Chains A and B, each alone.
Chain A
């Protein structure tokens, strides 16, 4: 599976959009981009995933560049409860599979 690079930490004001970048320049054509988050002392929570097209659900939006070498997770109106470590993961198989976690981005939402 391709490796991902994320900033170590980010801050965002409550109520603003949080944009979390992820680089995956070695991604192959059939690899998916997954985003998970982990709130302190809890298990990871699935956010969203995509292959080529931009995706949106009730939690977030995922923007994937045309060359698929990077993506951005957007939390449109961040709240204090969105403070967590966000993991961008590239995986070959869609669905139930082992995921290899990188270091992620520690996002802090400030009041």
Chain B
């Protein structure tokens, strides 16, 4: 089946640095990708919708200058956590919609730990 790959799967960084997480659709084109954040023992929270070739749409309460999203191609969206702080430590998950079939697939998630 279709696969969505996230990289890195886990990352540890120092407070104040920026971290980029990639979300790739490996065998399909994705016009739209979605980014979620999940804190321990909580559900997934939708952060933003990433549209190829246009600006991302952020959910209420999500700082667009803090979480930069770029969807430059039909197979890649990136989430950059700028000036990361310990409270940004979380599990970040992306999903991608198959442009052809309309099916939705989730990545395996990226765990960010900010020291």
Contacts and interface: CB of A to CB of B under 8 A. Distances in A.
B75 to A, nearest CB: 14
Given A42-B108, A42-B109, A43-B107, A99 B43 contact: no
A41 B111 contact: yes
Q: By DSSP majority rule, is chain A's interface helix, strand, loop, or mixed?
A: loop
A44 interface: yes
Nearest to B30: A96
Contacts of A97: 97, 104
Contacts of A96: 30-32, 96-99, 102-104
B102 A98 contact: no
Contacts of B101: 95
B23 to A, nearest CB: 10
B95 interface: yes
Contacts, number: 58
A30 interface: no
A99 B95 contact: yes
A43 B93 contact: yes
B78 interface: no
A39 to B, nearest CB: 10
Give the size range of A's interface with the partner.
20 to 34
Contact of A104 (B43, B97, B103): B43
A95 to B, nearest CB: 3
A68 B4 CA distance: 32
Interface in A22-73: 36, 38, 41-46
Given A43-B106, A46-B106, A98-B46, 6 more contacts: A95-B97, A95-B101, A96-B99, A98-B34, A101-B45, A102-B43
What 5 pairs across the A-B complex have the smallest Cβ distances? A96-B97, A95-B102, A43-B106, A101-B44, A101-B43
